[in-house]
Amino acid sequence: MAITRSYQTYLTVPSAIISDGILPIPLWAVTSMTLNETYQLPPIGSSGAKAVVATHDDTITLSGMLVGAERFAWKFALETLAETAKRGGALEAFTGGAVSGLILITSMTIRTDMQIQSLAFTATSAKRDALDVSITLAHMPRPSALGKLLDVAGIGVAALADWGGN
């Protein structure tokens, strides 16, 4: 019985990239991505004057695989980013605290101020040299005009990437 091995060619564009501004972690084998947006509704009859606060909570769940000989290094890097993003990380140091957390780049969205809420890794005998991974990231922006500006800039970058790929 022949044993087949999992491998990854690194000549393709990853499905997602998670970074702290220094260390990019590419995820090539993303099988699904879900963006959940939960909007806070004001009480009926509340005044029109609003403080600058977040209007919705976003979570993004990525499911995929860490493939090949590097799978344990990518697993360790994801765990390390999950821990350091809670303390602000490199992005916060670069921006003087204006932006913190992680950067997520996917075909669906580009977000800053992300934090890893949960990581789950699964190894099975059916997939040699691969780890299934599920990552839930929470969008934790600071209430400011910069957060909205970064969201708009992300849309522009994604549109340019789509336009350049066609």
Pinpoint the alpha helices (H) of the chain: 71-85, 89-95, 145-165
Q: Do the strands 130-139 and 110-122 form a parallel or antiparallel pair, or are they unpaired?
A: antiparallel
- Give the pLDDT band (50/70/90) at residue 162: low
- Tell me the percentage of the chain whose pLDDT exceeds 70: 69
SS3 93: helix
How far, in Å, CA of 79 to CA of 158, rounded? 27
Q: pLDDT tens digits, residue range 120-138?
A: 999 998 888 889 999 999 9
Instruction: List the domain boundaries for the chain.
Output: 16-36+56-165
- With vertex at residue 45, the alpha carbon angle to CA 44 and CA 46, rounded to the nearest 5 degrees, is 95
Is the model's pLDDT at 23 over the cut of 70?
yes
pTM of the model: 0.74
What pLDDT was estimated at residue 120? 97
Q: What is the pLDDT of residue 33?
A: 92
pLDDT tens-place string over residues 29-45: 899 999 898 887 777 76
Q: What is the pLDDT of residues 46-76, one digit of tens each?
A: 665 555 455 668 899 999 988 888 899 999 9
Helix, strand counts (H, E) of the chain: 3, 7
Residues 128, 159: Cα–Cα separation, whole Å: 37
The pLDDT, as a whole number, for residue 47 is 62
